[in-house]
């Protein structure tokens, strides 16, 4: 067997690639605890056999809408195991984009042997009514990316699902969750909106740094071998994704960094993800806010000296403090024969670098818990690349 295949299954860095799949649903989600509680509140009466509930979840790509609904439904099934049997029909309307296909998929979740073809919409809905009445269980229909179905088939199916109990005694056979990037309530007919309820809307914002950092730590702990990454590396990954607020980007960056580290492994390599690994797929992922290294060309000489101080440290470390900057800046000024600027001026230079999105600052507690300090990182550039350019520019500016 060819030796180049020896790395397959080696697992030097990545031990569980499934945890880095976009469709993977962890046992618990992090960074969305408040939203989870809000969704549970919309379903507060679901334990009653005569109750049906509704929710509309909207938010940008990668904000956790689908994983929120999947974990909620799974946990709800377990929570009500001794009170009420819950059946989940999670339909992706991008794949089933017509109302007919959606109902067929719902029926298949209840009765896998139900025929997929040859039935009209009226017959499909009749079958759905019969099956929901026949079973004593409660059906939760989750229509993911529902805007795709709405564009092709309109909202009549939603109206029919919301009225499914009207022609029978009793109620509480079906609950409905709609998921969309778009504000779908704006395109629904008044009759559908009144049944869904405007107050059942849950709007999810993009993830913040703290939430992305939690996700990075959770996925790394599940997917990577212990000791192959540091908390600082994961925070750098979170920093690189924070401008989009997209959890999927965090997961993809962990996978890319892990694969880059895996690729360069040999008998003498340290089994650890490096800063260079984190930046390895930036061009392919097209994630940088700033795409041109020339963005540093118009900095003033001492701004460049401060930037050079930062880049030299961040070639080897993921973060540094403002105190580190001043110490290294003093060394660089001596190297280039320049008189140091004041603390206040250095602070202004740092703010300018941050304004240009060359660096990112985070306020964090000091290790011993006494006080807080500012940590700087460089998520959008590989520091080694900037060192070479800044040194070249300084030779011209400081002749």
Domain ranges for the chain, please list them: 3-15+208-285, 32-203, 293-397
Kindly report the number of other CB atoms within 10 A of residue 301's CB atom. 14
Structure tokens at 388: 């070479």
| Pair 241, 250: CB distance under 8 Å | yes
3-state secondary structure of 143: strand
Choose the weakest-confidence range: 95-104, 166-175, 209-218: 166-175
For 59: left if phi > 0, alpha if psi spans -120 to 50, otherwise beta; the answer is left
How far apart are the C-alpha atoms of 278 and 288, rounded to whole Å? 13
**What is the widest separation between alpha-carbon atoms in the chain?**
90
For the segment(s) 32-203, the CATH number from 2.60.40.10, 3.60.20.10, 1.10.760.10, 3.40.50.300 is 3.40.50.300
Helix (H, G, I), strand (E, B) or coil at 19: helix
**Listed residue (168, 319, 314) closest to 238, CA to CA:** 319
For 196, the enclosing helix (H) or strand (E) is helix 190-196
Cβ atoms 138, 174 nearer than 8 A: yes
Radius of gyration of the chain (CA): 27
Give me the CATH code for the 3-15+208-285 domain, please.
1.10.8.60
> Is the pTM value of this prediction over 0.85?
no
Q: Is the pLDDT of residue 289 over 50?
A: no
Alpha carbon distance 305, 106 (integer Å):
63
Distance between CA atoms of residues 41 and 358, nearest Å: 42
Helices 322-335/301-314 angle, 10° precision? 120
* Per-residue pLDDT tens digits for 318-344: 999 999 999 999 999 999 999 999 999
Q: Which residue has the higher pLDDT, 3 or 136?
A: 136
- CATH class of residue range 293-397: mainly alpha
User: Which of 33-37, 238-242, 267-271 is the least confident region?
Assistant: 267-271
pLDDT tens-digit profile of 80-96? 998 888 999 999 999 99
Short-list 345, 354, 306, CA closest to 327: 306
pLDDT score of 217:
97
CA distance 161 to 121: 12
Per-residue pLDDT of 343-379, as tens digits, reads 999 999 999 999 988 999 988 766 555 667 889 999 8
């Amino acid at each position: 067997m060819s030796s180049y295949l020896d790395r397959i299954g080696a697992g030097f860095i990545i031990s569980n690639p499934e945890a880095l799949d976009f469709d993977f649903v962890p046992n618990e989600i992090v960074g969305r605890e408040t939203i989870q509680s809000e969704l549970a509140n919309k379903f507060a009466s679901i334990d009653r056999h005569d109750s049906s509930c509704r929710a509309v979840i909207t938010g940008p790509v990668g904000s956790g809408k689908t994983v929120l609904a999947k974990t909620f439904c799974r946990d709800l099934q377990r929570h009500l195991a001794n009170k009420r049997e819950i059946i989940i029909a999670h339909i992706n309307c991008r794949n089933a984009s017509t109302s007919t296909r959606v109902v067929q998929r719902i029926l298949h979740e209840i009765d896998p042997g139900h025929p997929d073809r040859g039935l009209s919409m009226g017959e499909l809905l009749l079958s759905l009514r019969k099956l929901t009445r026949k079973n004593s269980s409660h059906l939760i229909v989750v229509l993911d990316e529902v805007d795709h179905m709405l564009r092709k088939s309109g909202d009549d199916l939603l109206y029919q699902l919301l009225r499914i109990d009207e022609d029978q005694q009793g109620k509480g056979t079906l609950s409905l969750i709609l998921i969309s990037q778009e504000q779908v309530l704006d395109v629904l007919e008044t009759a559908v909106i009144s049944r869904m309820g405007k107050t059942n809307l849950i709007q999810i914002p993009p993830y913040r740094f703290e939430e992305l950092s939690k996700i990075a730590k959770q996925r790394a702990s599940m997917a990577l071998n212990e000791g192959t990454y540091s908390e600082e590396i994961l925070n750098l990954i979170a920093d690189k994704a924070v401008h989009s607020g997209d959890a999927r980007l965090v997961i993809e960056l962990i996978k890319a960094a892990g694969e880059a580290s895996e690729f360069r492994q040999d008998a003498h390599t340290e089994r650890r993800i490096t800063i260079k690994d984190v930046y390895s797929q930036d061009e392919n992922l097209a994630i940088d806010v700033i795409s041109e290294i020339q963005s540093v060309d118009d900095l003033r000489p001492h701004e460049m000296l401060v930037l050079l101080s930062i880049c030299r440290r961040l070639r080897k470390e993921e973060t540094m403090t403002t105190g580190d900057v001043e110490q290294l800046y003093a060394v660089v000024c001596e190297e280039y024969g320049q008189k140091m600027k004041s603390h206040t001026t250095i602070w202004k230079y740092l703010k300018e670098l941050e304004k240009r999105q060359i660096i990112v600052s985070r306020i964090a507690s000091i290790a011993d818990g006494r006080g807080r300090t500012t940590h700087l990182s460089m998520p959008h550039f590989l520091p080694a690349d900037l060192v070479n350019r800044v040194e070249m520019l300084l030779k011209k500016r400081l002749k």
